[in-house]
Structure formats: C-alpha cells, structure tokens
Amino acid sequence: MRILVLNWRDLAHPAAGGAEVYTEQVLRRWVREGHDVTLFAAAVPGRRAVENVDGYTVVRGGNRYDVYREARVWWRRHGRGRFDVVIDETNTVPFHALEWVDDGARTIALVHQTCEEIWHVNAPFPADLLGRYVLEPNWLRRLGHGPILAVSESTRDALARFGAHDVHVVPEGYEPPPLPAHPAKEERPTAVFCGRMVGYKRPLDVMRAVVQARREVPDLRVWMIGGGPDLERLRAIAPPGVEFLGRVSEEVKHDRMARAHVHLATSVREGWGLVVSEAAALGTPTIAYDVPGLRDSTRAAGGVVVPPHPDALARWLVELLPRWQGGIPPVPYGGAHSWDEVAKTLFHAVDEHARIPHGH
C-alpha cells in the first residue's frame, strides 16, 4: 500500500518526543513489509528537504506554524494521485487531510493526546483560553467527521467529549532497552520522578508529597530526573530528600529507575505515559495521578492511581512503600506492546477504518 503520514515533526527534529518515536518505529516496519511510505514533517535546520530514512521517504517543509499549510501545498503539487491512504497524525493541531485529500485516497487521523488543560501551561493568557475553548474544540469537531485512531482509552474518551465517535483504540508500544546488569534496589527508601521540569508535569507536587511523606518515612528520598525550563528554579528550592539530577543519559536514567523502589508520575495529562511502562519494565511500580493517559499506562503496568493531589500522593507513598521494598517482577513491555505488534495492529486498523472523505 502507498501510505502518506503527516506529522508536524520527524525524529530528526530537536524537539521530537514520544509521538515521533512511535511514528518511526511503525513506519520502518511497514516499509519492511513492502509498503511504500512517505512522511511529511516540518523542516529541520541542517537536514535535507527530502531524505530516505530506514527505507521510507521524509519530506520536510515549513515551520511549526505553517507546516500544516505546506503539507497541503506539497500535496497539490506532488502528492495528489500518488497515495492510497493519508494518515493525519495529530499533535493538538490536525492537518485536516480529510478536508483536502480529493483524489479518492482514503484518510484517517491518529491522535496521541488532546491538549485541553495543557493550553494553560504552554500558552500565555489569553491565547490559552482561545486555544482551549475555541480552537481545539473546533479542530477536533472537524476531525471527528472522519475516522480516528487513538492510542489510549483516555484519548478516545476525550475525543468523544468533542463529538468524535468513530474512534478506535490502537496499542501503545514500548521495548525495554537491554540492561547490562539488573541493578539491585537501593537500601534507602527511594522514589524516582522522570520528566521535563515544566508546569504540566507538576514536579512541584512530587516535591511537596515527598516532604510530607518524610514525616513518616524520615530517610525517604526522591531522584528528580530531567531537564527543562524550571530545573534551576526548582533545584534552588529543593528541600532535604529531593535530589535533582538534571538531564542524564538513557543509561543513567534506566539505572536510577531500576534502583528506585517506586516511580511517581504527576502530569496534568498524557496520551499514554510511556515513562510508566519504562519503569514497570525495569521492575519499578508507579504511583500516578489519576488523569487521562497516566491511568491507562499505570493500570496496564500494575501500578496504582491516586487522586491528583500532593496529600494523596504522600499518603499512598507512605502506605505502599513497604509492600514494594524489593521491587516487582519486571512487566513485559511495561504493560505496553512490542513494536512489531503495534505496527501490525496499526496497519490493520488503518486498512479497516480509513475512508474516502465525504464530498470527494
């Protein structure tokens, strides 16, 4: 099959994240299966406009804001008639392929997560209100006119609130890296937080919870792993028991995650919460806020969700630490799925649910 994937970033983009890893793992497997795959993404300084990556073609054009228009222009000039299916991979802003793919090709959207509350964290007032209450509902309503694939039950629920009902859940993938040796758990009760130090990950909630929990478990400590704009500010106010490691290599990160007794996740919302799967694959259970995405990955990984409040996190941490002193047996794929399985399932879902847009 000839497949065009639209995503605002590719893996070469400096800000590439979980969605880009997902795309790249799937696409290179589709190519191996004999499909003809093209990915359209925003331009990356120093990278060519057309490049072959792992057997699929990456076409780059536009920046973070006009990549959506550029995709459409490219389609008119070069894309029309060359593809059987177009996948609109939506990171907050959809490409709206179903409104301009007009050559009889089928379209489908792939949504990792909705933005909603994160608008308030990522955009200044009053742009956040405009985004959350005007733009995003409008985008998602339009997207809902066609079929959609979502990577978690939570995302499907969220899309349903915006009126999108033709939504099917596809699995999230995670493959644990080979660890040279499985490190032993720490002697001292240790929690780990792993994420960018930004508002919507709520690292401050972790700090508050740990301070509170230390009243009952005085030698408790937490490793805060990750860079980000708030790192220095948080490091400056770090209370006893809270250690900031900053941005570290993958090896160091996995070593620390494996040595900790419990992993804490406090985001406002996630698409899936891959970091939970990562921890579970390393034998470290998660206590997470009961929010969309984190609740999917945490349940799949056998962890525990709590009301999103530092008091609750502290309470559960104190109660559950003794049970997890020796860690848990590593969970296969951390409760997610192998990339081979994801690629296969996603392909079948695309083939089964993609439709020729109305009006064309």
Binding positions for other proteins, rule: CB under 8 A: 290, 295, 299, 304-309, 312, 315-316, 319-320, 323
182 contacts: CB under 8 Å, gap ≥ 6: 258, 283
Q: Which is nearer to other proteins, 232 or 319 (CB)?
A: 319
Query: Which class for 299: exposed (0-12), middle (13-18), buried (19 or more C-beta within 10 A)?
Result: middle
**Angle formed by the axes of helices 250-259 and 274-281, nearest 10°:** 70
Q: How far is the CB of 295 from other proteins (least distance, A)?
A: 7
Q: How far is the CB of 315 from other proteins (least distance, A)?
A: 5
Q: Which is nearer to other proteins, 20 or 296 (CB)?
A: 296
Q: Which is nearer to other proteins, 285 or 327 (CB)?
A: 285
Q: Which is nearer to other proteins, 309 or 344 (CB)?
A: 309
Cβ atoms of 12 and 49 closer than 8 Å: no
Q: Which is nearer to other proteins, 175 or 290 (CB)?
A: 290
DSSP output for 164-181: ---EEE---B--PPPPSS
CA distance 139 to 142: 5
Q: How far is the CB of 306 from other proteins (least distance, A)?
A: 7
Q: How far is the CB of 323 from other proteins (least distance, A)?
A: 7
What DSSP designation does 106 have?
Answer: E
DSSP output for 234-263: HHHTPPTTEEEEES--HHHHHHHHHHSSEE
End-to-end CA distance of the chain: 21
What residue type is assigned to position 23 of the chain? T
Phi-psi label, residue 156: left if phi above 0, alpha if psi -120 to 50, beta otherwise: alpha
Q: Which is nearer to other proteins, 111 or 306 (CB)?
A: 306
Q: How far is the CB of 289 from other proteins (least distance, A)?
A: 10
Q: How far is the CB of 292 from other proteins (least distance, A)?
A: 12
Q: Which is nearer to other proteins, 247 or 323 (CB)?
A: 323
Q: How far is the CB of 308 from other proteins (least distance, A)?
A: 7
Sign of CA dihedral 139, 144, 147, 150: positive
